[in-house]
Amino acid sequence: MLLTVGAQAAEPYGTWLRPSTGTQVSFYACGGKLCARVAAVKDESRKKEIGTVIMKGAAKSGDNVWKGDLLDVESGKTYSGVVTLESANALNLKGCVAMVLCRGETWQRVK
């Protein structure tokens, strides 16, 4: 039982809350890689974003780290992204332009 719990804790799959916007994003496996899509929004005016894929085909690049393109739904721009599972309940997403100018945010797992 303990091994199962540990294995689950090392995976980012599930729904995560972006605290700055109240948006919920579901991360899931797709073809052996990591993908994510908008699952719910707090602001009703952003309802059209539900179902939008924001990450597609991110490859695992280290322990609890995945790299791939991240779509910023608000701007419509795509950035080089790094997703790091910091703990069972904390996921850090960082988007970068030319891997020089970066902005990150820690999201919380939805229970």
Q: Is the pLDDT of residue 5 over 50?
A: no
- Provide the token pair at 53: 């894929």
Domain ranges of the chain: 2-109
Q: Is the pLDDT of residue 9 over 50?
A: no
Q: Is the pLDDT of residue 6 over 80?
A: no
Q: Which CATH number fits domain 2-109: 3.30.420.40, 3.40.50.150, 2.40.128.520, 3.40.50.2300?
A: 2.40.128.520
Nearest to 25 by CA among 72, 75, 82, 62: 72
Residue-wise pLDDT for 59-93, tens only, equals 999 999 999 999 999 889 999 999 999 999 999 99
Instruction: Tell me the residue ranges of DSSP E strands in 11-73.
Output: 14-18, 23-30, 33-40, 53-62, 65-72
Residue 73 one-letter amino acid: V
Residue-wise pLDDT for 95-107, tens only, equals 988 767 889 999 9
